């Protein structure tokens, strides 16, 4: 693939991006790309540099060095053109509580340069896409948290941006609302490029095509949810057992199984030990664990294998970098 063709497929290119605030290096040499039509998860603990990176991409602040290109345009030198390409939902949704939903979307649309029939058409589209039709004449201050988030999404999309940046869109929502917003994000990802920042890692895993994790301003991992959970150091699998017998003796028997890296004994009740095992290989060692228990003369009532979650990977990567 030639360079022009590759570039045309990219919505965002971040190259050698750095941002310093005095002696604090908030963003440290970030390099990544986001393709068109991709839902891209951008993760990190508090203070990792997520918000600073998003503020550079959305033209709120310039980088100290390096560049962020949106559809080929540098955010530092073509900020107005870049802003037209971007829809942004910050963590604190920018709403005017005394306006109705329809008044607010008309206000935002006009700021974005929409007029007449085009403005009306886009407002109607947002009512449909964000399921806000019944709330059109409702005062925003009287809406539930879930509907306020929908209004926030609508204002971010009113001008039909190519790149949509969502910062904690699930914040404060109940389980039913989370499911609805997740479906909406997936639908948007079929037509738009979406960057999704969140601390709800299960939602990121269920929603995003690729994920990038940063810590202390640096990239510590990137890949699909499956890549991250199966390929991280630690093996990708865990086992939960309930075994009857002496805890230390059980632990010695299980430690002899190839691939076992860590054994935890969580609780002992009526002679039964709750045991958790981490492995450092990808292979299923369930049969070998069963055989170790039986050969050791112990009783077994439970043996379950669980895939390592994105939460496990996130915790391991961000803790190990500190």
Closest CA to 277 of 299, 246, 255, 245: 255
Q: Could you give the dihedral angle defined by the CA atoms of residues 232, 233, 238 and 244, in that order, rounded to the nearest 10 degrees?
A: -170
Q: Rounded to whole angstroms, how far apart are CA atoms 15 and 31? A: 5
What pLDDT score was predicted for residue 223? 92
CATH of domain 235-308: 3.30.70.3190
- What tokens does 142 get? 């009287």
What pLDDT score was predicted for residue 1? 47
Q: Rounded to whole angstroms, how far apart are CA atoms 109 and 155? A: 8
Handedness of CA 93, 94, 99, 101 (dihedral sign): negative
Flag whether pLDDT at 320 surpasses 60: no
Same fold across 3-223 and 235-308: no
Q: List the chain domain ranges.
A: 3-223, 235-308
Flag whether pLDDT at 233 surpasses 80: no
DSSP assignment of 261-292: EEEEEEEEETTEEEEEEEESSSS--HHHHHHH
Topology, domain 3-223? Rossmann fold (3.40.50)
Q: Which helix (H) or strand (E) holds 117?
A: helix 116-129
**Between 171 and 77, the higher pLDDT residue:** 77
Flag whether pLDDT at 292 surpasses 80: yes
- What tokens does 209 get? 């095509």
Looking up tokens 């929409």 gives 114
* pTM to 2 decimal places: 0.77
Q: What share of the chain is helix, strand, coil (3-state, %, to 5)?
A: 40, 30, 30
Looking up tokens 């999309």 gives 157
Flag whether pLDDT at 94 surpasses 70: yes
Looking up tokens 């939602």 gives 203
Q: Average pLDDT, stretch 118-131?
A: 94
In the chain, % of residues over pLDDT 90: 65
Mean pLDDT of the chain: 89
């Amino acid at each position: 693939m030639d360079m022009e063709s590759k570039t045309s497929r990219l919505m965002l290119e971040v190259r050698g991006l750095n941002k310093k605030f005095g002696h604090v290096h908030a963003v440290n040499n970030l390099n990544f790309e986001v393709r068109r039509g991709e839902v891209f998860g951008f993760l990190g603990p508090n203070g990792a540099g997520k918000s600073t990176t998003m503020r550079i991409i959305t033209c709120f602040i310039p980088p100290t060095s390096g560049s962020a290109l949106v559809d080929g345009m540098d955010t530092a030198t073509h900020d107005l053109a870049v802003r037209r390409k971007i829809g942004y939902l910050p963590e604190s949704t920018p709403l005017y509580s005394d306006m109705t939903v329809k008044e607010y979307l008309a206000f935002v649309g006009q700021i974005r340069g929409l007029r007449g029939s085009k403005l009306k058409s886009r407002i109607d589209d947002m009512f449909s896409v964000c399921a806000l039709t019944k709330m059109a004449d409702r005062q925003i201050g009287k809406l539930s948290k879930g509907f306020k988030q929908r209004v926030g999404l609508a204002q971010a999309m009113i001008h039909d941006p190519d790149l949509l940046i969502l910062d904690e869109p699930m914040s404060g929502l109940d389980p039913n609302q989370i499911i609805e917003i997740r479906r909406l994000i997936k639908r948007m990802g079929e037509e738009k490029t979406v960057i999704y920042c969140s601390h709800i890692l299960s939602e990121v895993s269920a929603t995003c095509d690729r994920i990038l994790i940063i810590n202390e301003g640096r990239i510590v991992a990137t890949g699909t949810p499956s890549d991250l959970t199966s390929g991280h150091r630690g093996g990708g699998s865990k086992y939960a057992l309930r075994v009857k017998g002496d805890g230390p003796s059980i632990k010695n028997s299980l430690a002899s199984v190839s691939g076992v890296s860590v054994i935890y004994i969580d609780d002992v009740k009526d002679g039964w030990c709750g045991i958790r095992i981490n492995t450092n290989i990808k292979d299923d060692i369930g049969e070998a664990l069963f055989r170790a228990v039986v050969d050791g003369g112990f009783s077994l009532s439970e043996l379950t294998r669980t895939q390592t979650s994105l939460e496990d990977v996130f915790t391991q990567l961000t803790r190990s970098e500190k």
